[in-house]
Amino acid sequence: MSTLLDQFGRNIEYLRISVTDRCNFRCRYCMPLEGLPWLPKSDILSYEEIRDVVAQLAPMGLRRIRLTGGEPTIRPQIETLVRMVRDVPGVEDIALSTNGVKLPELAGRLADAGLDRVNISADSLQADRIVAIARRNLGFDPIVAAGAAQAAGLAPIKLNVVVMRGVNDDEVVDFARLTLEHPWHIRFIELMPVGALEPLTDDHVVPSDEVLARISHALGALASDAGPARGNGPAAYYRLPNAAGSIGVITPMTHTYCGSCNRVRLTADGRLRTCLFGDHEVDLRGPLRAGTPLAPFVRQALAEKPEAHALLSRRVGGLRALSQVGG
């Protein structure tokens, strides 16, 4: 079996594919209220082109796929792409990252097409607060979305919570309590300096150690846990006594996890980005449309993959203070 190695010897087996740059939310930590200039449709990779990229990378060692966006479920018939990727020899795991709005109608079709698992962005359990954070009123209910995914047989189910002090941090214990009854994995993510953060600053960051302390104080001692059998990525997991699910923390700001990075991203317009939070990239759309094999371009990109992400060195909002925390 071939392997994809970067310049630091890390085995790259995981490709995150942005199927669209568009989103039906305007989350305050991610996107300006007015939106962004969207890519021309002609620049966006077709489903067939995405499938062809995966088909060329799979013999090189690619094993895991995650479909993301923007919001991937707003691209028409996304289950068609899932089915096409599922048919590529060598692909072992297909996941979807979504805001969950369309999961109640799509979960069954996605599972039938071959989707394995799903990550749902869920920054609040309160309807009015969901609207305030997403700056869109689309009737989203994270419990309904996760329930639909579970009923469709998708597993593991992860709910990702970006914790913001004074915005939603008072719901940390409520989210953790969900794991007592549901076999879900609630993951708390430190606020990161990406997107249009204003007026969010470093004062809004809640370190993961504080999150865990709050949970254990309210609900009992947390024990270290292996987490879900598939796709536990950069999260560290814990479990409450007798809980059906687990609690995870993702700590890009206080404890980096770049040393074990195994992933790259394909942007919606066909660029291979070697760090999810960096700007180094190599164009694959040009050679793909010209009928040129992609392997040399992929290997060139991995030879230049950075050792660590750029979040801590960026000067975005007030989050620069976090660059001196942890290692």
Domains, the chain, in order of start with CATH, read 14-324 (3.20.20.70)
- Mean per-residue pLDDT of the chain: 86
- Overall average pLDDT of the 287-305 stretch: 93
Rounded-to-integer distance, Cα 63 and Cα 221, Å = 36
- Overall average pLDDT of the 193-200 stretch: 56
* pTM given for the model: 0.88
pLDDT grade, residue 326 (50/70/90)? very low
- Overall average pLDDT of the 250-264 stretch: 70
In this structure, the strands spanning 185-190 and 157-163 are: parallel
- CA-based nearest residue to 281, from 262, 268, 293, 290: 268
pLDDT at 234 over 80: no
pLDDT grade, residue 315 (50/70/90)? very low
Please state whether 227 falls in left (phi above 0), alpha (psi between -120 and 50) or beta: left
- Overall average pLDDT of the 131-151 stretch: 91
pLDDT grade, residue 324 (50/70/90)? very low
More confident residue, 302 or 105: 105
Exposure string of 57-72, with b = 16+ CB inside 10 Å and e = fewer, is bbebebbbbbbbbbbb
The fraction of the chain above a pLDDT of 90, given in percent, is 62
**Distance set, CA 283 to CA 225, 242, 263, 271 (Å):** 40, 49, 17, 4
Q: Which residues contact 46 (CB under 8 A, 6 or more apart)?
A: none
pLDDT of amino acid 33: 64
The residues that bridge with 158 in the sheet, in sequence order, are 119, 185
pLDDT of amino acid 154: 98
Least confident stretch, 2-16, 70-84, 89-103, 153-167: 2-16
pLDDT of amino acid 319: 37
pLDDT grade, residue 70 (50/70/90)? confident
Q: Name the helix (H) or strand (E) containing 104.
A: helix 103-113
pLDDT at 77 over 50: yes
More confident residue, 35 or 10: 10
Least confident stretch, 47-61, 98-112, 270-284: 270-284
Residue holding tokens 């899932």?
Answer: 82
